[in-house]
């Protein structure tokens, strides 16, 4: 059985995609125990159906835990359930950005902690409706040494979902690549309140993107990643902004719905990294502060 911690959009996508009977949700400590969670599932292709996924009981021993909370909730969410898990149970983190993965790995270095980078897209336009809005790929890799021998087994368990899952020994590299794209698109869409493609002609974007890419390029290299030129990073950011021009980013959606954003784990992470390494990051700082002002932090 696979345990899912965080029954939001991504957690429900896993609940709906894994074979019936192979996954269950982990309740928060103190949460009244329910038998199951029932919701409508609209797949990327095909007809809508109703999904009923059980909650795991205290005696159940899941063989893998998927953590699908927001980055800012992840450490507390895991702390709430970790004592009931054997030390050998792999824990797979699905958070966007960076910072929460290292915090979890640093807190439990003796446990098999894995991280995923996924381009699947899921959202909940209504509380009881889960929409699989976009199909993509999911890469899974180790964050701690004890996770290395667990990688293939975790990937095989997830492949039963029919989603595209791949092992990735260098998961930090994948996470950095996604971080760069998110850092160059998400805060602008939230500040400008526009879809991804709408940022490209905005003065705020045009006036700051060159300096932002310069910061990103220096930070990547200082963090031990392969150096990429500011121009190459800008090209990648703009390629994604164009290919997803009509999409609303998760950061803009969070602001519109009055929810806390993940800015602290995207441009905020880069700003803190710069502070630690003595690298100036005025554009990341400006974007972080402006997004923080838009939502409760």
Ligand X SMILES: NC(=O)c1ccc[n+]([C@@H]2O[C@H](COP(=O)([O-])OP(=O)(O)OC[C@H]3O[C@@H](n4cnc5c(N)ncnc54)[C@H](OP(=O)(O)O)[C@@H]3O)[C@@H](O)[C@H]2O)c1
Q: Just list the catalytic residues.
A: 178
Closer CB to ligand X, residue 225 or residue 248?
248
Per CB under 6 A, does 7 bind ligand X?
A: yes
| From 122, 240, 251, 271, residue interacting with ligand X (rule: CB under 6 A) | 122
| From 1, 28, 230, 297, residue interacting with ligand X (rule: CB under 6 A) | 28
Per CB under 6 A, does 189 bind ligand X?
A: no
Closer CB to ligand X, residue 7 or residue 181?
7
Q: How far is the CB of 250 from ligand X (least distance, A)?
A: 6
Q: Which CA distances in Å does 141 have to 2, 37, 92, 256?
A: 17, 29, 9, 33
Stretch that binds ligand X, among 56-64, 117-125, 199-207, 227-235 (CB under 6 A): 117-125
Q: How far is the CB of 79 from ligand X (least distance, A)?
A: 9
Q: How far is the CB of 5 from ligand X (least distance, A)?
A: 5
DSSP-derived secondary structure for the chain = -EEEE--SHHHHHHHHHSPTTSEEEPPPTTPPP-SEEEEEEE-SSS--EEEEEEBPPTT---SEEEE-S-GGGHHHHHHHHGGGS-TT--EEE--SSSSHHHHHHHH-TTS-EEEEEE--EEEEEETTEEEEEE--EEEEEESSGGGGGGHHHHHHHHHTTSSEEEE-S-HHHHHHHHHHHHHHHHHHHHHHT--GGGGTT-HHHHHHHHHHHHHHHHHHHHTTSPP--HHHHHHHHHHHHHHTTTPPPHHHHHHHTT---SGGGTHHHHHHHHHHHT---HHHHHHHHHHHHHS--
The site string for ligand X over 49-78 (x = CB under 6 A, - otherwise) reads -------------------xxxx-x--xx-
Closer CB to ligand X, residue 234 or residue 266?
266
Nearest residue to ligand X by CB is 8
| From 2, 5, 179, 241, residue interacting with ligand X (rule: CB under 6 A) | 5
Per CB under 6 A, does 95 bind ligand X?
A: yes
Per CB under 6 A, does 118 bind ligand X?
A: yes
Q: How far is the CB of 10 from ligand X (least distance, A)?
A: 3
Per CB under 6 A, does 234 bind ligand X?
A: no
Per CB under 6 A, does 9 bind ligand X?
A: yes
Q: For residues 214 and 241, give the distance between their C-alpha atoms in angstroms, rounded to a whole number.
A: 18
What is the binding site for ligand X (CB under 6 A)? 5-11, 28, 68-71, 73, 76-77, 80, 94-96, 118, 120-122, 250, 262
């Amino acid at each position: 059985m696979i345990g899912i911690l965080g029954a939001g959009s991504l957690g429900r996508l896993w609940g709906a995609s894994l074979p019936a009977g192979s996954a269950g949700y982990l309740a928060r400590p103190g949460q009244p125990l329910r038998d199951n969670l029932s919701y409508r599932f609209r797949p990327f292709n095909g007809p809508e159906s109703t999904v009923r996924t059980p909650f795991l009981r205290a005696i159940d021993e899941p063989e893998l835990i998927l953590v699908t909370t927001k980055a800012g909730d992840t450490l507390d969410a895991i702390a709430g359930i970790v004592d009931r898990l054997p030390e050998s149970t792999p824990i797979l983190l699905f958070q966007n950005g960076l910072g929460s993965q290292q915090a979890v790995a640093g807190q439990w270095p003796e446990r098999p902690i894995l991280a995923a980078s996924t381009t699947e897209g899921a959202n909940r336009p209504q509380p009881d409706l889960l929409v699989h809005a976009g199909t993509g790929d999911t890469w899974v890799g180790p964050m701690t040494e004890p996770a290395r021998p667990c990688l293939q087994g975790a990937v095989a368990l997830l492949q039963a979902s029919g989603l595209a899952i791949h092992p990735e020994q260098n998961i930090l590299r994948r996470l950095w690549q996604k971080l760069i794209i998110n850092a160059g698109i998400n805060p602008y869409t939230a500040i400008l309140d526009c879809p991804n493609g709408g940022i490209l002609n905005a003065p705020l974007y045009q006036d700051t993107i060159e300096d932002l890419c310069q910061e990103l390029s220096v930070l990547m290299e200082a963090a031990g990643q392969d150096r990429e030129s500011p121009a190459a990073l800008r090209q990648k950011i703009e390629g994604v902004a164009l290919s997803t021009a009509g999409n609303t980013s998760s950061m803009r959606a969070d602001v519109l719905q009055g929810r806390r954003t993940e800015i602290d784990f995207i441009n905020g992470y880069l700003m803190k990294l710069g502070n630690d390494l003595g690298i100036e990051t005025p554009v990341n700082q400006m974007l972080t502060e402006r997004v923080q002002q838009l939502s409760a932090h």
